[in-house]
Structure 1
Amino acid sequence: MIQETQQEKPIDTGKLIHMLSHQLKRHNSASEESSDLTHIQRHILNYILFESLGRDVYQKDLEEAFHIRKSTVTGILQLMEKNGFIKRESVEKDARLKRIVPTPKAEKRREKIMENIRATERRLEMGISKEDLETCRFVLERMLQNLSENEEPKNKSEQGGFH
């Protein structure tokens, strides 16, 4: 009797994305010169630093740009404010709105944050053709859209409406 060799089943897409995310977090933790900013905080601070050069940035912008809930962004911003990277300022036309402004401490970190992000991107893209990267980005963006469609906030506090 001939035994059939069982081909390895490919890793589920969700599991593969989870594994990549975990590895990315480990890589970023190892490459950080200090532990005062997490991976997501670096990306959010980078967004604030560059977007605020041309316009006001609000919490709602971060929720939309990073596809994260209001409560998550609130926690991240509170910690970044406590650590002196941002300040939140009331807006003249609507006191309920808080503009997010990078502090001088954050400005000093701008180049280091950008270089860290660029180095991680270079590492991720090693040995992958430009065409494959474009296809990968397209597919990942579509998967994100698929999971985001018909998504509703779990409670009223996450519906927001204000920046």
Structure 2
Amino acid sequence: MEKEKENVRDMHMGKLVHMLSNQLKRRDSMEAGPSDLTHMQRLVLRFILLRSLHLDLYQKDIEEEFHIRKSTATGILQLLEKKGFISRESVEQDGRLKRLVPTKKAEGYREKILENIRENEARMEQGIPREDYEACKLVLWKVFENLMEEEKKEERRRRDESKTISINP
């Protein structure tokens, strides 16, 4: 056990997060959702299935939830639509706005997805005191925020740079 602790202490946070992410992807691909979808497509479908129970969803919600660009979200949603997992319905107030609606085909996966989430959460919490588990989640969220802030700074820098270039040809 001491050797494990030493190895973890010497490990970069990014490597540990990457290992955890790979493990979760493996579990997800083995257990939940349609096998003809990529991991990211399954995550988006899962989000649509669970969130649409309570709220209307739009492409912008997908972009914000997964921190992806509009073009990436468009590609994923077009594929989910083509494979019959979602449909897009016009909204009464604005015909340009399309609500994302899971189809009956997608609905068939909802309970299995919920079961998979419960099982994975229980597996991850196993042997960890609740307080430590919650502290870990808070630390991981802060790490995420730090990285997002850095990304936002870089985007602002690029935007400012492009303005300077277009102003001073």
Contact 1:63 1:69 in 2 (8 A): yes
Asked if 1:27 is matched to 2:27, the reply is yes
> What is aligned with 2:122?
122
SS of match in other structure, 2:21 = helix
Q: Distance in 1 between matches of 2:76 and 2:11?
A: 32
Residues 102-122 of structure 1 deviation map (CA, whole Å, 9 limit, x = unaligned)? 111111221011112222222
Counterparts of 2:123 and 2:37, CA distance in 1:
20
Q: Where does 1:1-163 land on structure 2 (aligned, <5 Å)?
A: 10-32=10-32, 34-149=34-149, 151=152, 152=155
Gaps of 5+ in 2: 1-5, 160-169
Q: Deviations over 1:74-125 (max 9, x none)?
A: 2221221111110112223323221101111111221011112222222222
TM-score (norm 1): 0.78
The code of the aligned residue for 1:22 comes to N
CA distance in 2, matches of 1:54, 1:82: 24
Q: CA deviation at 1:23?
A: 1.9
Cα distance, 1:33 vs structure 2: 7.2
Consecutive aligned runs of 4 or more in structure 1 exceeding 4 Å deviation: none
Supply the RMSD in Å over aligned alpha carbons: 2.4
Q: Which secondary structure state, in structure 2, belongs to the residue aligned with residue 90 of structure 1?
A: strand
Question: Structure 1 CA distance, aligned partners of 2:65 and 2:18?
Answer: 20
- 1-side partners of 2:142 and 2:39: how far apart? 23
More helix as a share of residues: 2
Amino acid of the structure 2 residue aligned with 1:15: K
Q: Is the Cα–Cα contact under 8 Å of residues 36 and 83 in structure 1 kept in the other structure?
A: no
- Decide whether aligned partners of structure 1 residues 88 and 34 sit closer, same or farther in structure 2, where only a CA change above 3 A counts: closer
Q: Distance in 1 between matches of 2:108 and 2:84?
A: 12
Query: TM-score, normalising length from structure 2?
Result: 0.75
Amino acid at match of 1:13: M
Does structure 1 conserve the Cα–Cα contact (< 8 Å) formed by 2:88 and 2:98? Answer: yes
Is the Cα contact below 8 Å between 2:32 and 2:113 reproduced in 1? no
1:58, 1:98 within 8 Å by CA — same for their partners in 2?
yes
Question: Partners of 1:16 and 1:133 in 2: how far apart?
Answer: 16
Identity between Structure 1 and Structure 2 (%): 59
Deviations 1:33-88, CA, capped at 9 Å, x for gaps: 75134433333223222322333100111121222222222222122111111011
CA distance in 1, matches of 2:127, 2:91: 47
Task: Indicate conservation of the 8 Å contact 2:33/2:42, yes or no.
Answer: no
Report how many aligned residue pairs link the two structures: 149
Q: 1:141 to 1:32 in 2, by over 3 A?
A: same
